[in-house]
Structure 1
Amino acid sequence: MITTEVFADRLELHAFGRLSLAECKEFEELSNYRLHFNGPLDLLLDLRELESCSLDALVEQIRYGRMHSRDFSRIAVVSGSGLVAWAALLSQVFVEAEIQVFDEIEMAQEWLGEPGKLELSH
């Protein structure tokens, strides 16, 4: 399951349990809409509660990252898992965004800065 918070200049994705392809597609639709109207965005990925990811969801995320390699300015990944942190840093091969990995969400939000006005939550 994922929840998404949408700000004027940033998206925050919070993942819980197992991530499915349908949830990935839903996030992609939302981010595509925001990117179309706002241009490059910052992205916060809170993966602390992520337990697993289906293979098709993983492949989709790689495809999406490659398609949008220039659409995100900075990406903050929050995770207590060394494997997730390693994968996030490896993804810099596919995207031009500056990527940082954090153990605490507050540190990630501080690095990204104060978001623009909250517009909606999903």
Structure 2
Amino acid sequence: MSDYHHGFSVSIERTGNERVVMSLHARGKLQHEDYETLVPMLESAIAGMEHPKIDVLMDMRELEGWEIRAAWDDLKLGVKHGRKFNKVAIVGSQSWQEVAAKIGTWFIGGEARFFEDKAPALAWLEETS
């Protein structure tokens, strides 16, 4: 029997009282349970911040997609906290991931960009806005 791996590897850092840097590595087909873990982590990280700015490095190179309920969870996350997202750097290798970056900009307060390599994505996140 083979185990199917899916979900997020997550790193969250607070910088001062305004900036949160979140690094996500998405793998497999995301499920509702993955968001039940991720969302409380994010909400805990921004708790007590008056005007949080969230920068995200999202590595999607091993992402296969979302189950329907997980896609709904992703949309709800964007609606609830989208204006707090400053920069979202999406690292991927598929054309649909580049399209997802463009569509993602509609749901956040900042900007989302697609990168094929991690180094330029990190450099862009570190630029001052």
The alignment's TM-score, normalised by the length of structure 1, stands at 0.85
Higher relative contact order structure (alpha carbons within 8 Å, sequence separation ≥ 6): 1
Gaps of 5+ in 1: 115-122
- Structure 2 counterpart of 1:95, from 108, 120, 127: 108
Name the SS of the counterpart of 1:90 in structure 2: helix
Q: Aligned Cα RMSD in Å? A: 1.5
Note if contact 2:88-2:112 (Cα within 8 Å) is conserved in structure 1: yes
The equivalent of 2:12 in structure 1 is: 6
Gaps of 5+ in 2: 1-6, 15-19
Structure 1 residue 37: Cα displacement? 3.8
Name the SS of the counterpart of 2:108 in structure 1: coil
Verify: 1:42 aligned to 2:55, yes or no: yes
| Residue correspondences, number | 114
Note if contact 1:65-1:95 (Cα within 8 Å) is conserved in structure 2: yes
Q: Based on CA coordinates, which of the two structures has the bigger radius of gyration? A: 2
What letter is aligned with 2:38? F
CA distance 1:37–1:12, shift in 2 (3 Å): farther
> Percent identity over the alignment?
25
Name the SS of the counterpart of 1:68 in structure 2: helix
Name the SS of the counterpart of 1:80 in structure 2: coil
The alignment's TM-score, normalised by the length of structure 2, stands at 0.81
